[in-house]
Amino acid sequence: MMDGEIFTATLVPSGNITPNSSMTLEQKTTFAFVILFFIFLGILIVRCFRILLDPYRSMPTSTWADGLDGLEKGQFDYVLA
């Protein structure tokens, strides 16, 4: 800087330039995808915690051999031969 010169640094644009505060279409689309991604992650986190807290709730009570007529459980392999 030279002697007698006043240095002014402004972070705010001058009065004749109006800042564009609206988002572009790409920014809006990205923002929407990020929000949907966080919702999806939240659902997955809740589902994982529910499985960790009660892992046997989601298992069916029936087995693969239920409903086979005339067969005992474990005899399915012999019937195929």
Token pair 């195929």 is found at 80
As a whole number, mean pLDDT of residues 10-18 equals 57
Domain map of the chain by residue range?
26-55
pLDDT for the residue 47: 93
Identify which has the larger pLDDT, 39 or 10: 39
Confidence of residue 17 (pLDDT cuts 50, 70, 90): low
Tell me, what's the pLDDT at 29? 96
Alpha-carbon 32 to chain mean position:
12
Residues 42, 36: Cα–Cα separation, whole Å: 10
- Which pair of structure tokens corresponds to residue 26? 């790409």
Question: Whole-angstrom Cα distance, residue 47 to residue 7?
Answer: 59
**Assign residue 24 a region: left if phi > 0, alpha if psi is -120 to 50, beta otherwise?**
beta
Residue-wise pLDDT tens digits, 24-79: 999 999 999 999 999 999 999 999 999 898 888 777 776 665 555 555 555 555 55
